[in-house]
Structure 1
Amino acid sequence: MSSQIKENNTNLKKFSADCENCFGLCCVALPYAKSADFAFDKEAGTPCPNLQLDYRCGIHKNLRKEGFRGCVGYECFGAGQKVSQVTFDGRDWRDDPAIAKEMFNVFQIMQQLHEMLCYLNEALSLEDAQPIHKDLQSVLEETEHLTHLNPKSIIELNVQAHRVVVNDLLLRTSELVRAKVSPKKDIRRGKDLFGAKLKGVDLKGANLRGALLIAADLRKSDMRVADLIGADFRDADIRGADLTGSIFLTQAQVNSALGDSTTKLPSALRIPDHWIKVG
């Protein structure tokens, strides 16, 4: 494995939430509506009642039981600590209310940039993507630069235009990685597979980008080398499924699914605490 690939494998660990160094931004900046994922409505910019003075969640260990599955399945990709400690240099929105609105707006944009960085770093860690590593590295450096702009400049960014550039490279990465596998099941990108019966199905090398897999039965399915970017795994049953070698799968997606200790995950991801332990 090249030193570049080793470095980017290490970098992937940076793109996860470090709540100890964040001012509870996701618990304040983001809105949500009462649903199966959230127990009540909350407006953007309003602190969640469960947010404590030390910025810890008062029900963190019981989020799913208390009706906050959406929180379990959320990932800021490290944007929270970047905004708190770098962009705003450790200034706290509670101590300095004048910066609160700007800070919350910046956070939502930073989350998108960090998500892109996470995927770009993963792409650079893949041997099969070697032919476009130079392009990936260039766009990664440009994206990283954007995350270090001042708050006003970040808010003025055309994030959608930048996402188009990033997405093109991620699509090319996916094609290079999956080229070595001939998928046995053709699934249209973004297909609605809500509650689909896919137990034991061979999905190796499939393009499941943006697929709606909510409550799908994926037990013992083979999703190796599948592209899972943006796939909705809420309550998908992946017990015994094999996702090793799948690409662009995040911890947030795994957290929203239902699995057990027989589920095989990429090495960078961990088995969530709420999964059923077997044996």
Structure 2
Amino acid sequence: MAEKSKPRHKPPRERERQPERTLLPLAADDRQDLRADCGNCFGLCCVALTLSKSADFPVNKPAGTPCINLQQDSRCGIHQNLRQKGFSGCTVYDCFGAGQKVSQTTFDGTDWRQDPDTARQMFDVFPVMRQLHELLWYLTEALTLPQTGPIEAELSRAREKTERLTQGTPAAIAETDVATHREDVNVLLLRTSELVREGIRRKKKDRRGADLFGARLKGADLRGVTLRGAYLIAADLRGADLRETDLIGADFRDADLRGADLTGSIFLTQSQVNAAKGDAETKLPPSLARPAHWG
């Protein structure tokens, strides 16, 4: 949840049905709109989501209730000290740009504070938009990979369909059957993984959903392995080779990635990186930033 420029608040006005927007062709790896821009969001992740008291959050907060640290200008009052104050979960969370999309596009810059009648609908739309933007992140990445040539047309159609879903009216977005759409997209993401990893011959490539909690994998050669949905919580991955490794949905909470090589890994997200531990020697894909807490 990076804090950026002050949100652009527009005065409330009567809501009306917006004409269907014309989609512009996306560049091969244009993911700028899929990166969080907190300065143009009305603090939606701090209001719309439920927080449960845990190691990640020191308080309970129901969905639709503003976080105690959210200020009137949509900024976080303890942004620089979130981890010290027990809100480490906030530093891990990534909306994939859904916050500014809902705030500035779906609701045309109308703040939920200024127009309370739209608040509930906005809070319902946000988590749906977040899931759609996550799928856009994966699909856009898949289209950058040279190995996906055989399914490029299918990936492009899936990305265009997903983008169109994000451009609907608030009611249409809230009613989107994301689970079914995700299943369709996942078929292509699985095929993408296979195409990327098929050139790396290994006896054991499939560790999907594996329980690797606290696993000792220091210096492990995991190149070309699929770790989709694997539990790597607190795993020791120092110096591990994770190139061309499928990491979609892998749980990296407190995993030690110091000195690990994740260049060329497939479907790694900023949220996963933020949840892990790393250092200056950790190699990341160019699309991801080195977390500030890594030092």
Same fold (TM over 0.5): yes
Normalising by structure 2, what TM-score?
0.89
**Aligned-partner Cα distance in 2 for 1:160–1:118:** 16
Please show how residues 94-105 of structure 1 align to structure 2 within 5 Å.
94-105=113-124
Off by >4 Å, runs of 4+ in structure 1: 184-187
Aligned-pair distance for 1:38? 0.8
Q: Structure 1 residue 7 and structure 2 residue 19: aligned?
A: no
Q: Secondary structure at the match of 1:29?
A: coil
The alignment covers a number of residue pairs equal to 270
Superposition deviation, residue 156 in structure 1: 1.4
**Is 1:189 aligned to residue 208 of structure 2?**
yes
In 2, are the aligned partners of 1:102 and 1:151 still within 8 Å (CA)? yes
Pairwise CA distance, 1:105: 0.4
Spell out the pairing of 1:5-154 with structure 2 (5 A cutoff): 7-9=27-29, 11-154=30-173
**Would the alpha carbon gap of residues 178 and 216 (structure 1) be closer, same or farther in structure 2, given more than 3 Å must change?**
same
What pairs up with 1:164-179 in 2 under 5 angstroms?
164-179=183-198
- State yes or no: 1:263 paired with 2:282: yes
Gaps of 5+ in 1: 1-5
Q: What is the aligned partner in structure 2 of residue 214 from structure 1? A: 233
User: 1:43-99 CA deviation, whole Å, 9 max, x = no partner?
Assistant: 100000111111111111221121112111111101000100111011110011111
What is the aligned-residue RMSD (CA, Å)? 1.2
* Identity fraction in percent: 63
Q: How far off is 1:186 after superposition?
A: 4.3
Per-residue deviation at 1:130? 1.0
Q: Is the 8 A contact 1:189 1:208 kept in 2?
A: yes
Q: CA deviation at 1:31?
A: 0.2
2:260 to 238, 241, 244: 241
TM-score, reference length from structure 1: 0.94
Deviation at 1:16, TM superposition (A): 1.1
CA distance in 2, matches of 1:98, 1:201: 54
Task: Write the distance in 2 (CA, Å) between the matches of 1:13 and 1:197.
Answer: 36
Give the Cα–Cα distance (whole angstroms) in 1 for the partners of residues 203 and 255 of structure 2: 21
| Alignment gaps of 5+ in structure 2 | 1-25
CA contact 1:184–1:203 (8 Å) conserved in 2: no
CA distance in 2, matches of 1:131, 1:224: 22
**1:185·1:203 contact (CA, 8 Å) conserved in 2?**
no
